[in-house]
Amino acid sequence: MTQSSEARRLRVLINIPILNEIAIIARLVKQVTSAVEGYDYVLLIVDDGSNDGTLEYLKGIIPQSGGRIALLPRKKMYQGCQRGAALLAGLNWGLSHGPFDIFVEMDGDLSHLPEELPRGLEAIAENRGDVAVASKYIPGSEVSGRSFGRTLISVVCNVAVRSVIRWGIRDFSNGYRFYNARAASVVPQYRIRYGSPIYLTEVMAIWLANGMRVIEIPGHYVGRNEGWSKVRLIDYVKACIGVMEIGLRYRCTGFQKITLAEPELTPLPVTSLASSTHAPEKQDG
């Protein structure tokens, strides 16, 4: 059996957070499902409260997907980007609705290329690592559609993170990630402090603290709507503070585990093709 056929034999969860992506949602679904045709997969769309028709489109195509597409609707608890909270909700859904052998996280705006999915899936199936990041900063990687200023900021931020956590990893901020069930099961054991994109750094530090093997594979990142108008100084200040706090826990105090006395994390209600009816569940706080 070839490694490629081994990857196709494993069960895959593709976890994609979105918010108001009606302009590209059809392309996103088509390209992702085409890239993993022949795999045993579920495409989980985690929606953070779209009001532009995205939800209606997804609910329309789910009954024809043969159980391959699921929708996890959420309500944002805080202002600003809550991509991290959405990813965690999707991860918890996968752990509750599995088992899944490989977990994938990627952006919902096509900044991560769906055609690169098989490369990451095979990296995990071949056991080259517990976690594989589609890096922007290793030989063979490419970044397009991003201004020089935004690229410079990204590089500087990643150097800062590498300095306080692990120098050998070049791209802490890329959300195109593949990981095995062992790595997936580690995350809910800890209290996650960040629902913002800093979640990516926090989870990576937790993985490293638990001895997960992290590798980087070449990726092509396509910048979309990343003009300077979207850059806010306060966001970078908060990010820097967050990274330093995560580094302190990684280097000194450790990460706080969730005790048995605490309530278990439960997924939000899910709309899926299974046509089963789920009772309303308590939302994640």
284 occurs within a structural domain: no
Mean pLDDT over residues 254-271, rounded?
60
Burial 89-99 (b: 16+ CB within 10 A, else e): bbbbbbbebee
Tell me the range of 106-110, 154-158, 260-264 where mean pLDDT is highest.
106-110
Secondary structure class of 68 (helix, strand, coil)? coil
User: Structural domain of residue 252, as residue ranges?
Assistant: 3-263
Domain-embedded: residue 39: yes
Contact 65, 271 (CB under 8 A): no
Dist CA 226 CA 276 (whole Å): 40
Q: What is the pLDDT of residue 275?
A: 32
Per-residue confidence (pLDDT) for residue 219, from 0 to 100: 94
| Two tokens, residue 240 | 């820097």
Report the number of distinct structural domains present in the chain.
1
**Confidence at 98, pLDDT banded by 50, 70, 90:** confident
- Residue 277 in domain: no
Place of tokens 């071949």: 126
**What is the DSSP pairing of strand 102-105 with strand 177-180?**
antiparallel
pLDDT band at 104 (very low <50, low <70, confident <90, very high): very high
Pairwise CA distance, residues 156 & 136, whole Å: 13
Whole-structure pTM value: 0.84
What whole-number distance in Å separates Cα of residue 21 and Cα of residue 53?
8
Would the pLDDT of 185 be above 80? yes
- List Cβ neighbours of 64 (8 Å cut-off, separation of 6 or more): none
State how far the Cα of 226 lies from the Cα of 57, in Å rounded to an integer.
26
Pairwise CA distance, residues 279 & 167, whole Å: 46
**Neighbouring C-beta atoms of residue 64, cutoff 10 Å:** 9
Q: Are 133 and 176 in contact (CB under 8 A)?
A: yes
d(CA 114, CA 168): 26
- For residue 231, the surrounding DSSP H or E stretch is none
Segment 132-182, tens digit of pLDDT: 999 998 999 898 877 666 666 677 777 878 788 888 898 888 899 999 999
Residue 268: inside a domain: no
Phi and psi torsions of 14, nearest 5°:
-105, 110
- What residues does 32 pair with on adjacent strands? none
For the chain, how big is the Rg over CA atoms in Å? 18
- The amino acid that residue 178 corresponds to is F
Q: What is the CATH number of the domain that holds 191?
A: 3.90.550.10
Chain mean position to CA 108: 10
Phi/psi of residue 19, nearest 5 degrees: -155, 115
Asked if residue 269 has pLDDT above 50, the reply is no
11 located within any domain: yes
Between the two ends of the chain, the Cα-to-Cα distance in Å is 45
Does residue 23 sit within a domain? Answer: yes
| C-alpha closest to that of 195 among 33, 31, 35, 46 | 46
Over residues 237-254, the mean pLDDT reads: 90
DSSP code at position 141: -
pLDDT one-digit tens code per residue, 190-222: 999 988 889 999 999 999 999 999 999 999 989
Residue 276 domain flag: no
